[in-house]
Amino acid sequence: AQSVTQLGSHVSVSEGALVLLRCNYSSSVPPYLFWYVQYPNQGLQLLLKYTSAATLVKGINGFEAEFKKSETSFHLTKPSAHMSDAAEYFCAVSLNQGGKLIFGQGTELSVKP
């Protein structure tokens, strides 16, 4: 069975600092992995996705993630945090890009001035 674990339900960084949100997955077959962002009272917006091509994936708003099969990880990073990055971030896995998504528990990112 597939599952996703996000380490840390809340992460706080200073503006301009590195953002690192952790995601580990378990899957019996090569997965497709996604990061979504959710702003308060809004829907989920796709940040980036891994689909078995390049292991380093670049997304919108300066975010990127690296797929590491040996570590079963897909951590999300951004070199310099901006106040507008404050939101809830969800890692998700799917056996294929069209199938249902299994979400992690979410990580709330706070950015301090």
Partner 1 sequence: AAGVIQSPRHLIKEKRETATLKCYPIPRHDTVYWYQQGPGQDPQFLISFYEKMQSDKGSIPDRFSAQQFSDYHSELNMSSLELGDSALYFCASSHDPPRLAGVGQFFGPGTRLTVL
State the sign of the Cα–Cα–Cα–Cα dihedral 39, 22, 77, 96.
negative
Confirm if 24 and 7 have CB atoms less than 8 A apart.
yes
The one-letter code for the residue type at 77 is: T
Least gap, CB of 14 to partner 1 (angstroms): 25
Q: Judged by CB, which is closer to partner 1: 36, or 74?
A: 36
List residues near partner 1 by CB under 8 A: 32, 34, 36, 41-46, 49, 51, 90, 96-106
Least gap, CB of 22 to partner 1 (angstroms): 15
Least gap, CB of 80 to partner 1 (angstroms): 26
Of the CA atoms within 13 Å of residue 103, those in its CB half-sphere come to 12
